[in-house]
Amino acid sequence: MRRMFFAAIASLTLTVFARAATPTQPVSEAQMIVTTQFGSQFVLLQDFPVLVGDFNGDGSEDAVFVATARGGIQITSDRYHVLDPSNDYFGIGDPKITTQFASPYPGGPRYLLIIHGNGAEGWHAKEPKDRFVLINVAFDHISIGHIEKKKKKVTKVIDDIGLEETGILNSFLYWNGRRYKWSPGAA
């Protein structure tokens, strides 16, 4: 009886050590890009796709990531620009104020991290054209839509970011040439 007890304890101990010794999952390529471009405080949310399109209309591929942050975000950074397009739509777009708003999500705030690509490498370039962190944008699902821009009798189709709050509101984000703007309604 004693032998069985010690054998069970030894087996359990070996199982616990074997599980603890298994290597952790490798960091995804997307998480490495987010960490390199935005900082290690941003953690990619795996429930959302990485969107790829030409969001600023320059012909270079851009990318959108959905992330959360450990310990909050820096409002002023040399790496990225912080924008609050949905609250800006309603007249309070200053991130110094709006970063203090409570998050409606149990896991904390969600951020849209946008990389404007540079040249043929697009968003994979070591030095992208620009980086943005969009805060306080409510969504359950994201997708790519298209918007037509007319400039001097030339119509250009660029990609936009479709946002869906299930059962509440559909909206979209688009680049106006200087910053991202939020608009209610389907794209």
> Of how many residues is the chain composed?
187
Rounded mean pLDDT, 15-39: 63
173 in any annotated domain: yes
Rounded mean pLDDT, 19-40: 70
- How sure is the predictor about 74, in pLDDT bands with cuts at 50, 70 and 90? confident
57 in any annotated domain: yes
Of the two residues 174 and 2, the one the predictor is more confident about is 174
68 in any annotated domain: yes
pTM, rounded to two decimals: 0.80
Give tens-digit pLDDT for 80-127.
999 999 888 888 877 877 777 767 777 778 999 999 999 999 999 989
13 in any annotated domain: no
Give tens-digit pLDDT for 118-172.
999 999 998 999 999 999 888 999 999 988 877 777 777 889 999 998 888 899 9
Q: What is the pLDDT of residue 6?
A: 39
154 in any annotated domain: yes
Between the alpha carbon of residue 137 and those of residues 83, 96, 180, the distances in Å are 10, 16, 11
Q: Which two tokens stand for residue 90?
A: 């309603």
Of the two residues 15 and 102, the one the predictor is more confident about is 102
127 in any annotated domain: yes
How many domains does the structure of the chain reveal? 1
Q: Is the pLDDT of residue 3 over 90?
A: no
Rounded mean pLDDT, 65-84: 88
Q: Which domain holds residue 150?
A: 28-184
3-class SS shares of the chain: helix, strand, coil, % to 5: 20, 35, 45
- How sure is the predictor about 174, in pLDDT bands with cuts at 50, 70 and 90? very high
103 in any annotated domain: yes
Q: Which two tokens stand for residue 115?
A: 């990389």
Q: What is the pLDDT of residue 18?
A: 33
152 in any annotated domain: yes
Are 179 and 85 within 8 A, CB to CB? yes
